[in-house]
Amino acid sequence: MILVVLDHDGTKLRKGSLEALTRARQLAQALGEKVAGVLLAEAGAPLEEARGYVETLYVAELGPYTAEKWAAGVLEAAKGGVKAIVAPSSRQSRAYMGRVAYALKAGLLEDTLESWAEGGEVYAIRYAYLNRVTQKVKSPPPVALTVKPNTTPLAEPLGQGGEVVALQVPPVATVEVLERVQEEKKGVSLTEADVVVTGGRGMGSAEAFKRVEELAALLGGAVGATRAVVDAGWRPYGEQVGQTGKTVQPTLYIALGVSGAVQHLAGMNKSKYIVAVNKDPEAPIFKHADYGIVGDVHQVLPALIEAVKKLKD
């Protein structure tokens, strides 16, 4: 069996789940296995949508998320034996999959760009050294594999609903969630966005980010921030792009007033197109840019917004 973890926001599957599903189907075909899904939920879950994608769907409602509970849920679903467990990459999945991999003594293939099976072994391509190196790795099955967002075509539904199997997950109560500090959710999620518009220290103030938001909204993208901006309290941590923040790989990455420190580059240097606006022509970001403007971001950004509006008209 190839087990795929279907991640969701309570009402619908996340895009990453459909990417993971594609990978799971590819592995299943190469290894002569069947795909089953596992849908773990705090409360609500998109059950109908999910069973449209798999022949067997394991489900369990576990209450507030903890890595222990999710690992227990996945392990319960994998009890019949698995060749691979596939999940979309997220902070959460990379933790519970670590537990799962240890429990099954599986090969852990983290945040993969590509994966395939050959001669009974599973191969993957992933980044290392803060995204600077591309690795080709392999492991004999079983493997626990996470899928980097925006790397894989989305899976299509099967056309008919699969069988739903309720899991009996043994309770784990080592971690109690006391309080969730929710972020204001605006528009598209940063890691899944096709366009990311990031402001750096050069933006100068929290107020200046209104224009960043405006440009992001115009382009249907998400807002990002650098560590300096987040540390200054201008933007929430959840928007931080970089080594300790999020890794993004959009089609278009626009860096406004961003100098381009290594730690920031680690989070965005694989974007398809990179655009930089900075008044310092020596800023390292320009070395990683496809397009750029050397100029004052406070003048260039409003002009950019106008130019995009003109184009859309």
Report if residue 267 touches other proteins, rule: CB under 8 A.
no
Q: State the Cα–Cα distance between residues 187 and 224, nearest whole angstrom.
A: 12
Residue among 248, 252, 269, 245 at smallest CA distance from 218: 252
Report if residue 11 touches other proteins, rule: CB under 8 A.
no
- List Cα–Cα distances, 226 to 160, 199, 246, 267, 278, in angstroms: 45, 7, 10, 10, 14
Nearest residue (CB) to other proteins, 61 versus 288: 288
Among 96, 112, 169, 196, binds other proteins (CB under 8 A): 96
**DSSP strands (E only) in 18-173:** 35-41, 56-61, 84-88, 107-118, 121-128, 133-139, 143-147, 163-166
Nearest residue (CB) to other proteins, 35 versus 97: 97
Among 98, 161, 162, 204, binds other proteins (CB under 8 A): 98
Residue among 162, 89, 158 at smallest CA distance from 127: 89
Number of residues interacting with other proteins: please give it, by CB under 8 A: 97
Report if residue 62 touches other proteins, rule: CB under 8 A.
no
| For helices 209-218 and 297-312, angle between their N-to-C axes, nearest 10 degrees | 20
Stretch that binds other proteins, among 30-38, 50-58, 121-129, 162-170 (CB under 8 A): 121-129
Report if residue 43 touches other proteins, rule: CB under 8 A.
no
160 phi/psi in degrees, rounded to 5: -140, 150
Among 43, 81, 119, 129, binds other proteins (CB under 8 A): 129
Report if residue 163 touches other proteins, rule: CB under 8 A.
no
Report if residue 174 touches other proteins, rule: CB under 8 A.
yes
Binding to other proteins, residues 193-252 (CB under 8 A): 195, 219, 227, 237-238, 243-244, 251-252
